[in-house]
Amino acid sequence: MTAIPAAEWREHLDTMITGLRDTGALTDPRWIEAFRAVPRHVFTPHLRDSEGRDIDVAEARQAWLRRVYQDDSLITAVTHEPGLGTDVPTSSSTRPGLMARMLELLQLREGMRVLEIGTGTGYNAGLLTHRLGACHVTSIDIDPTLIEDARCRLHSLNLAPHLLVGDGLAGVPDHAPFDRIIATCAVPGIPLAWITQLAPGGAMLVNLRGEIACGTLCLLSKDATGDDEVIGPFLGIAGHFMWARHDPARALPYGIQSTSERDQTRTTTDPGTVATIAHDVANPDFRFLVQLHIRGIRTLAAPPGQPVPTTIHAAATDGSWATAHIATGKVAQGGTRRLWDNLCAAHTLWCALGQPPPTRFGVVATPTAQFAYLDHDRNWTRWPLPLL
């Protein structure tokens, strides 16, 4: 991309930074300086409009710059996912406000070594490199094209962190240990490599999630003794990153099994129960517990096109599914699990626990076991990980 004169983009960048400071997302003077020194537009030369068409930068440069410097995520790459029969985003430029909050949560100090999982456009690696220096930043991505593009963009700003093509789920053992690990991709559980490659006293910031709820960034720390255990809370910060994956050609970390309609069962339950659950289906706190309680759930919603919802539909990666009719209480479900029964149990538990938000949960992960817990890690109200 042809370099754009600073006079054309500096005002947009200053406006973005002012907005981030006003919302409290960006407070540290050292990070403010990093955001000023690393212009975002360098890392987003190819954007798509709402219909998935490439935007011609030459035709609409100012409109493009206004969009780049808004506090929004920008999709920069997609791939076709056979299991869904549609295109799924595989790379983006993360919303600057979220990125700023995550970087400040790392509480970085001079000399710290950082591993970024998911290079993407290279923008976050650029911010980290400006803050810490190139020799202290390692970033890895499964997609060689993304790495090559990121390297060129970073070099144009005289930034040269260690960029590697590889499976980020395996970490980067040759550069370990790391004082901090930041994952700009989502995982259903904590990879063992991240635990073992984290230095004693280190911390990792991870988007641990399933398919039906976000707001699940968690900050996990390892104590100074060096035991291979990380522990920490889920944060009240919305994050829904794209999946980390072993295969650059795939967007999802799982396959989707199918179930024959002949395997279904039909029952009638209390319409009041269905209505109560229908009322809570959109509640993010309930959805968070559901994805802990029902492993592999990937859909929980009223089907589109219903101005007033009449049914609830749930489906899981193993092909299990359920549809409940709100007015009549009639339920159809099929597959290896009775998903509606599981959903009712999750709702009963959520109510019994006082309808807890994600901030009441945390994670413990070791080389031999990992689980999410409620309130404190000694509580036996817990759920095994991974979620998928």
**Residues 165-199 pLDDT 10s:** 999 999 999 999 999 999 999 999 999 999 999 99
123 located within any domain: yes
List the chain residues with pLDDT less than 50: none
Residue 112 belongs to domain with CATH number: 3.40.50.150
The beta-strand segments (E) located in 52-105 are: 74-81, 86-93
372 located within any domain: no
106 located within any domain: yes
Contact at 8 Å (CB) between 220 and 232? yes
Contact at 8 Å (CB) between 34 and 26? no
Shared domain for 92 and 220, answered yes or no, is yes
Q: Residue 64: what pLDDT?
A: 84
Shared domain for 103 and 213, answered yes or no, is yes
93 catalytically annotated: yes
44 located within any domain: no
Set 93, 139, 156, 221: catalytic member: 93
238 located within any domain: no
As a whole number of angstroms, the longest Cα–Cα distance in the chain is: 67
* DSSP type of residue 1: -
Shared domain for 82 and 220, answered yes or no, is yes
Q: Residue 8: what pLDDT?
A: 87
Query: Strand, coil or helix: what is 202?
Result: strand
Q: Residue 12: what pLDDT?
A: 95
368 located within any domain: no
Q: Residue 92: what pLDDT?
A: 81
Q: Residue 245: what pLDDT?
A: 84
148 located within any domain: yes
Question: pLDDT tens digits for 314-339?
Answer: 999 999 999 999 999 999 999 989 99
Residue 268 belongs to domain with CATH number: 3.30.310
Encoded amino acid at 40, one letter = R
Shared domain for 82 and 136, answered yes or no, is yes
Q: Rg of the chain's alpha carbons, rounded to an integer? A: 22
Shared domain for 305 and 197, answered yes or no, is no
Q: Which helix (H) or strand (E) holds 312?
A: strand 311-316
Shared domain for 268 and 154, answered yes or no, is no
380 located within any domain: no
Query: Strand, coil or helix: what is 200?
Result: strand
Shared domain for 174 and 228, answered yes or no, is yes
Q: Residue 325: what pLDDT?
A: 93
Shared domain for 223 and 84, answered yes or no, is yes
What is the domain count for the chain?
A: 2
Shared domain for 207 and 267, answered yes or no, is no
As given in the structure block, the two tokens for residue 239 are 């994050």
CA nearest 162: which of 202, 108, 109, 119?
119
Residue-number span of the structural domain to which 157 is assigned: 77-233
Shared domain for 95 and 226, answered yes or no, is yes
Shared domain for 223 and 97, answered yes or no, is yes
Partners of 268 in beta bridges: 330
